[in-house]
Each structure stands twice: as structure tokens, then as C-alpha cells.
Structure 1
Amino acid sequence: MAKIRTGRVGEQIKKELSVLIQSELKDPRIGFITVTGVDVTNDLSQAKVYLSVFGEQEQKDNSLKALDKANGFLRSELGKRIRLRHVPELIFKIDESIAYGSRIEKLLGDIGTDKNESQ
């Protein structure tokens, strides 16, 4: 039962944070950010927010710093939009799985072209 609730809360936080980051935050350090996932602890005290940032490593670092700075604003806005007794503490992390997946796909494509050339 608790897993179902944490999953629902995580999805709702993901949806609301996506809207907040895109429309409400005016910090120029924030680039093109996509919220890829949210993991909420069982007691709803913490939420790890996984982000995909378009750009170089410097852009990713700047976006993370800006989001950490706006953490209080984001939590207060989440509290207004989602009815929870306690809004979880937000921990922002860069999601490297998309880059990892595209790298694996490129490597597999290279293997396929090497095999065709050798035949």
C-alpha cells in the first residue's frame, strides 16, 4: 500500500516540478531541463529528482546550482499545488542514463557496421 502512494506522490511531484521549472523559474543559469524521474522515500521525507540537462558539463553544473538555490521556492510552490502534510526535501541529481543509453546504441551501431565491412 505504501509503495503505491509513494509512486503516486513521486509522479505528481515530477509533473508539477516540470511545469514549475519551465514556467516559473526565471534564473538564466537554468538551461533546457527535463525531469526524468522522482524517487520518494517511504516516509515521504525526501525526494530524489533526476534531471536531464541539454548541454555541456558546465551547463549541467550551473543548472544544478540554480535549482539548489531555488529549492525553497520550489518546495513552497509544491506545497501549494499538492496537498501533503509535509513537502519532501528535494535532492536534485543529473540523470546520466539517457547519455549512457545513446552511447551504448552508438557502440552497437559501430559493431554492426564493422561486421558488414569485414564480410
Structure 2
Amino acid sequence: MKCLLFLYFNALVPAVVERLGDAKQPVRDAARRLLLTLMEVSSPTIIVERAGSYAWIYRSWRVREEFARTVTSSISLFASTELPIQRAILPPILQLLNDPNSGVRESVILCIEVCETFLPVFF
């Protein structure tokens, strides 16, 4: 199953990231759940790195905001088992503190607070 999943990762992950910017909240929620499920079956760090390569710099502020929320959820779920995740998220999270959209900045601040809670050694 994992082998088949990895074959489609390159096409699946950008499409899911794009759905994070959908106008309908249920679609965005489903995209977030799918990313978290992909993190469960593979590695959270790999998914955050691959999805983040699109999401952190995506033109739509909603994608950046929803991806920051997804990363916040992933830290809560996987921080104890996946230590390299903080190295994958901290640089882009800090860059998004300067985002022009206030929703993105608020999501990023929440993500940093969760990082500090679950990963105090890193701070």
C-alpha cells in the first residue's frame, strides 16, 4: 500500500494543498484531514516538507493559513514520535510572521505557541 501511495504523492500533495484554499469550509476541512491521514501512514516530516514546498509560498492567503493550522494539528498529534518535524516547519513559520494577511499571522502565532508547548527543548 505504501509503495502505491508514494507513486502518487507528487500529484496528490499539490492538489490537496490547493484544496486548502477552497471557498467552502467542508472542502478545506477534508483537505486538512487528508493531509493528517497521509502523515499517519507515512511520515509527518515528509508530508510537511512536500506540502510546505507549495503551501508556504502559495499565492492564496487562505492556503497559507489553513496549512499553518494543519501543521499545528500535526505537531499536537506527532510531536512525541516525530522529532525532525520542528526543523521542517520553523523557518517558514517564522517567515510567515511577516505575511500581509492577519489570519495567516494569527495561525502562525498559534503554531509557534503549540511548538513551544510540545517542543520546549527546541525553543
Q: TM-score, normalised by structure 2?
A: 0.29
Greater Rg by CA: 1
**Which protein has the bigger strand share?**
1
